[in-house]
Chain A
Amino acid sequence: MDTFAALAHGMAVAVQPMNLLYALIGVFLGTAVGVLPGIGPALTVALLLPVTYKLDPGGSLIMFAGIYYGGMYGGSTTAILINTPGESASMATALEGNKMAKAGRGGPALATSAIGSFVAGTIATIGLAFLAPWLVDFAVRFGPEDYFALMCVAFVTVSATFGDSPIRGLTSLFIGLTLGLIGIDKLTGQPRLAFGIPELLDGVEVTTLAVGLFAVGEALYVASRRHHAEEKLEPVRGSLWMTKEDWKRSWKPWLRGTLFGFPIGALPAGGAEIPTFLSYSTERRLTKHPEEFGKGAIEGVAGPEAANNASAAGTLVPLLTLGLPTSATAAMMLAGFQQYGLNPGPLLFAERPDLVWGLIASLFIANGMLLVLNLPLVGLWVRLLAIPQPWLYAGILVFATMGTIAAKPSVAELSMLAAFGVMGFLMRRFDFPIAPVVIGLILGPIAESQLRRALAISLGDPMVLLQSPMSATLLGIALIALLAPFVLKGLGRFKANED
């Protein structure tokens, strides 16, 4: 099929005034809900489904796509400004982004994340348009053993990257892995570590943990420091806009983030968390300013943000070509397709090219709109930081609590939020990194069930992990990443002895 002609036709569908309006409503709503922790794009699309029932399919799908992309943008705004990631995908952004904001560089942080998202989103959407059929073949061949190997790479890089020492990073990771065991075991259906509490049977909600550790923990920590030395927050220092230096340090991370985000997002069990953290780890290794990491390095914002948005486009590859939703939002979009009697899958491209290509074209437009919508807001957003600290953090606590209740209204959920808040405070106080906990919770259960699936298929033969070339390669990378620091250290000592 002539992709260019199809895309041009799709563009013609997408620029119809009504469809442009739907895209605008979508990105606006998406940005708004992305800002609120707990209310993600998935819930928004779920609530809008009955409303859009009367609209024509093209328009409402375009709107859903706008919400999806918008949510990815909005989540990073709160992550950077108040260290409260609206989505688990923007956790990596919070790490450096919030440090930058505290140092008065919130403007450039928001700008690099908005432009990086635009660049990555655009490249990934081009990838979606041209590579989707090829990529989906690759994604389908990715078996359980390959996923397990990919998770190993993520675990190793993450525990080695965060915190002052690998031991602290590993401790945090294992806390997260333990939390990940809570709930019904996916493969046997038996409850584990649930202590007879029905709410625990579904496991710990990632947003509850993330909001508790990041937002509530941060608020408690700040409150506890007030009598020591008040931390001076400078809303703006230097330029609000990115300097020439910022551009120079951002463009490579944008591209590398895209390279992580798009293919991993296209994997049926890939998700947005792995690429964002892999990108963060990579930028930390490659940077020319290692001393800035942990204090607000712009590469640490640019890379993960690009990876985040690229993976959002990647998710649409299996959705459109196989009818396979790989994220909660994609699942809701699938429900949106089915509402109109459309079954995404191999036949959709042939049966309704106008719809598919209209949707892809509108992704370009949504991306552009988000940039236009977000860049002028940067100045407004950073003013948030000028709010006196007690007010700001009280507000954060209210938002965090409301978001949690909105997602799951139960006493058990709120108690967990409070407990995780205290845990986040203690971890800050004793200098343990918090991100690995959340990664452990997200990836631990996936790694476990993929490994057990691989072994069930191979009838218990562990060699299956090495027989797949993809899995063997990834495990090799993980091993090298694990050993390299020690070997390099040894070599260094060796050389020192020679001198």
Chain B
Amino acid sequence: MIPSHKRLFGAVVALLLGAGGPVAAQQLELKVMAPAAPGGGWDQTARAMQQALVASGIARSVQVTNVAGAGGSVGIAQFVNGAKGDGNQLMVNGFVMVGALAMNKSPVTLEQVTPIARLTEEIQVIVVPANSPLKTAQDLAAAVKADIAKVTFAGGSAGGVDHVMAALFAGTIGADAKKINYIPFSGGGESLAAILGGKVTAGISGLSEYEGQIKAGKLRALGVTSEKRLPGSDIPTFKEQGIDLVLANWRSVVAPPGITPEQRKTLSDAVEKMAKSDAWKEILKQKGWDDAYLGGDAFADFLKKEIVRVTDVLKSVGLVKS
């Protein structure tokens, strides 16, 4: 009798232990900060993470907080100072934050946070109005070389990804990036009106923002910044037109400084699991984001390189004083 009892007890213990793994993961209670107002790209990424983490059972609860201001400078300052050593907090960030921190002379930098993973990226495009004489990226390059001041580029805020891309385009074709005539518009497509109305030579933006206009034939895409031609797309890359311009507007997630290696592993594992979950893939499809998962040290390297590249470009156009 007694041994059978013991056996039964052992089985129950084993069962509990066996179930222990997923139960422990379920205990994860995360806070994700979107360093921007509700509605923008970072906020949508944070809320998409929340949805995927909870739906696929990786975390028990995820709370999204918004700290808006100055391209993320306000948010990251609060994150680095307030969440130091907290292994349950994450912050969404991206390409734009690199430039914003440099331009705002922020005392807090992205070198201070603990990199976790890159999640998504969006390919950039240069467009011209349908009736423009420019047909290819080389036509545009020739126009820029002929008289750089006369070629006006419309895009998003100063120092953002569109601005950096205009400077990189000029630099790549051998023109003086400092002289580009870049005209920033507030986000959300105000620049679209200026391009459609023929007020500027060309427009720069994320591909998805102009896709409808390109398909409708109102805008002509001169080139995209992807490494290879996008599947199912007839827009040529800059690379295949002989212009070495590869760039993506990436978004990533980072943890606070001063967390232990174990905490870092827990967070990295949770994010990796999320990035591979069906729930996340479903969201990516809906939002039209490209999966660009890159975790661990590879992401840390990537982040470092992007910081150097963006800061150099911003210095070359005079937005950041060296």
Contact = CB atoms under 8 A, between A and B. Distances in A.
B39 interface: yes
Interface in A200-246: 201-202
Contacts of A322: 189, 192-193, 196, 213
A96 to B, nearest CB: 32
B73 interface: yes
A178 interface: no
B150 A459 contact: yes
Contacts of A268: 189-190, 192-193
A140 B216 contact: no
A419 interface: no
B197 interface: yes
Interface stretch (A62-70, A110-118, A335-343, A422-430): A335-343
A286 interface: no
Given A143-B197, A190-B103, A201 B39 contact: no
Contacts, number: 128
Given A140-B197, A338-B288, A323 B70 contact: no
B196 A201 contact: no
Nearest to B99: A189
Given A188-B319, A199-B69, A345-B216, A324 B192 contact: yes
Contacts of B38: 43, 46-47
Interface string A320-346: 001111101001101100111101111
B47 interface: yes
Contacts of B199: 143-144, 457
B39 A344 contact: no
Interface in A178-201: 184-191, 198-199, 201
A158 interface: no
Given A189-B103, A324-B190, A198 B73 contact: yes
B184 A202 contact: no
Contacts of B223: none
B286 interface: yes
Contacts of B208: 343
Interface residues on B, range: 35 or more
B47 A201 contact: no
Contacts of A346: 212-213, 216, 218
A323 B210 CA distance: 9
B197 A142 contact: yes
Interface of B: 38-39, 43-44, 47, 51, 68-70, 73-74, 77, 103-104, 106, 149-150, 152, 157-159, 181, 183-186, 188-190, 192-194, 196-197, 199-200, 208, 211-213, 215-216, 218, 286-288, 319
6 closest pairs, A vs B, by CB?
A345-B212, A189-B158, A201-B70, A46-B38, A346-B216, A268-B193
Interface of A: 42-43, 46-47, 49-50, 139-144, 184-191, 198-199, 201-202, 268-269, 318, 322-326, 328, 331-332, 334-335, 338-341, 343-348, 408, 453, 456-457, 459
